[in-house]
Amino acid sequence: MDDENALRADIQNFLVTTAKSFLPNQLVDDVFQLARNVVTKTTRKGSADFACKAFVCLFATLKRMATSGRGAEDEDEEEETDEEEDENAIREALLKSTTMNTPNTTTSTKNEKNYHLCYRRKAGESDVRVLVLYRVTAYGLVHRSEYADSIALCDAVYENMDASQIHKVGIADIRTCPKSGTMRILTKKRLAEHAKMGELMCSMCGRFFEASKGLVTHAQSVHKHSYEQGKHLQQTARNSLIDLTNIDALQREYLLSRFTEVLGEEETKKKATPALHPLLEICKTNNVENARQFLRENPDADVNDICDQHGSNCLHWSSGSNALELCKFLCDEVGMDPAFAERKKGRAAIHWASRNGCLEVLVWLIEEKGIDKDCEMSDGTTPFMRAAWMGHLELCEYLVKVANCDIHRENKYRCNAVHWAAQSGDVKMLKYLRALGLDVTSANVNGHSILHKSATKGFYDACVYLVEELDLPLLRDNDGYGPEDMAKMEGHKELASWLKDRRSRIE
């Protein structure tokens, strides 16, 4: 028997033993003898490596046994009879039956009846029916338990599992699929394999994701967690790698080092910039003649289809490079749309010009091409917010004094320009925005103040300015986290300590 089959057999034996500790033994054996109910290897990537449908069948069998002697004609009347059934009489009958079968008889376990089943309304809930199981324990006591469905039966299995055996068998995680009732088992071997690939398991659903940001993003988008909750989920998943008790110390050390190595490789890949299309390279140089030559040599090239991996086109690159003459060429001669925005984030040429401080291009887009000075990205972010974010003071002054932009506008997360400036830690920009009259005390939809933003990024000087000069309070966000907590979670220990000390003085 190979290692995989041996592991599968160990898991099945463990489940059978656990089920027999509180369910009719012969029934458990009968169900697990069916091929469709044995523990099987899964083929789905990024999840548990074994699955078991036995408890779906087991619940259905128990329910059928509990209702097999009842007719369908007077169902309501019989439900009342079930509810009024004398529990004491059931207990007495079970104890009497058990006494008759012990200890001087040779009756097999198959013929013994040390349990009683019924299917009745749940106490206090007229619309809910449950399976009720009475069984005689090894100590001669009658134990009563009830199960609403196969998922509840699986939960009972988990509650009766021997913790030491879980580790011995090598189970890292076991859970029930809420849709099918199938039990899914993740082994520590599979957990280690994913760790070697730089992947962590989501404890909410059991799926695996890239460790640096993938798990946090998944927690926010699928489970509707806050950023802080997502980071906590990520840290919990990382800690679980240390508790691989069926792996010796040398293997564990290798695993953790390999996990760190893979994370480093992933970060390197993200930082590596894919090769740009030749025309996009030209668009960064403001060399109109080279652009003309490329188009002459490639007459079939559709300029509008030439984009980078993020969907930014030639005009976006020219605008972000302050290549004004090339921008004019692309719009006036080639026919590109100056208002075109890429699909993912809705960034147009004006957003790249404002982000990168390209004042000449920004003025041309607004004054000659009629682009809205408050043109919004998909999330409502404006050119003024992006300019404030990157500290382009001269560009901000043009948008305010000449273009007359809306400086108080917020995006869909209720972040204004001050929130954006706080993310870059630019104290000079923060002072400028405050002088304009922007609200420095506002909080976004997550309850994050501008102090939260600067603390998350670890900007010590900005936090000192906000706390000591502006006297901003250390408010907690919607999840109860203060700026010091954000700094600590992101590894900014010195800043976290300073903020914590400031809070202690206030409180």
**Helices 25-32, 54-67: crossing angle, 10 deg rounding:** 130
Helices (H), 275-358: 278-283, 288-297, 314-320, 324-328, 349-355
The yes-or-no verdict on residue 126 having pLDDT over 60 is yes
Rounded CA-CA distance 50/247 in Å is: 19
Residue ranges per structural domain of the chain: 3-163, 197-271, 277-409, 411-507
Instruction: With H, G, I as helix, E, B as strand and everything else as coil, classify residue 51.
Output: strand
pLDDT bin (cut points 50, 70, 90) of residue 83 is very low
List CB contacts of 503: < 8 A, sequence separation 6 or more: 474, 482, 484
Mean per-residue pLDDT for 133-147?
Answer: 82
Class of domain 411-507: mainly alpha
Mean per-residue pLDDT for 435-464?
Answer: 94
Amino acid at site 112: E
pLDDT in tens, 238-247: 766 655 444 4
Amino acid at site 459: F
The yes-or-no verdict on residue 76 having pLDDT over 60 is no
CA angle 339–343–345, rounded 5-degree value: 90
- Give the H/E segment covering residue 142: strand 142-147
Mean per-residue pLDDT for 436-465?
Answer: 94
Structure-model confidence comparison of residues 79 and 305, the more confident one:
305
Question: What residues does 146 pair with on adjacent strands?
Answer: 132
Rounded CA-CA distance 298/307 in Å is: 16
Token pair in block for residue 316:
């976006």
Rounded CA-CA distance 475/489 in Å is: 17
pLDDT of residue 1: 53
Write the burial class of residue 503 (CB in 10 Å: 0-12 exposed, 13-18 middle, 19+ buried). Answer: middle
Least confident span in 78-82, 379-383, 390-394, 502-506: 78-82
Mean per-residue pLDDT for 427-456?
Answer: 95
Token pair in block for residue 62:
């128990």
- Mean pLDDT score across all residues of the chain: 84
CA angle 84–85–86, rounded 5-degree value: 110
pLDDT of residue 261: 60
Rounded CA-CA distance 125/128 in Å is: 6
pLDDT of residue 388: 97
pLDDT bin (cut points 50, 70, 90) of residue 106 is very low
Structure-model confidence comparison of residues 309 and 47, the more confident one:
309
Rounded CA-CA distance 194/46 in Å is: 8
Amino acid at site 315: L
The yes-or-no verdict on residue 356 having pLDDT over 70 is yes
pLDDT bin (cut points 50, 70, 90) of residue 119 is confident
Question: What's the CATH fold of domain 277-409?
Answer: 1.25.40
Structure-model confidence comparison of residues 275 and 272, the more confident one:
275
State residue 142 phi and psi, 5-degree precision: -95, 120
The yes-or-no verdict on residue 368 having pLDDT over 60 is yes
pLDDT bin (cut points 50, 70, 90) of residue 60 is very high
pLDDT of residue 3: 80
The yes-or-no verdict on residue 51 having pLDDT over 80 is yes
What does the DSSP 8-state code read for residue 241?
T
The yes-or-no verdict on residue 84 having pLDDT over 50 is no
Mean per-residue pLDDT for 369-391?
Answer: 96
Percent of the chain with pLDDT over 90: 51
Mean per-residue pLDDT for 423-427?
Answer: 94
Contact 189, 208 (CB under 8 A): no
pLDDT of residue 505: 84
The answer to whether the 277-409 and 411-507 domains have the same CATH topology is yes
Rounded CA-CA distance 225/205 in Å is: 13
Rounded CA-CA distance 249/22 in Å is: 37
CA angle 309–314–319, rounded 5-degree value: 110
- Give the H/E segment covering residue 71: none
Rounded CA-CA distance 353/403 in Å is: 15
Contact 217, 230 (CB under 8 A): yes
The yes-or-no verdict on residue 61 having pLDDT over 60 is yes
Least confident span in 34-48, 166-180, 219-233: 219-233
Rounded CA-CA distance 220/242 in Å is: 25
pLDDT of residue 219: 81
Gyration radius (Cα) of the chain, Å? 33
pTM exceeds 0.85 = no
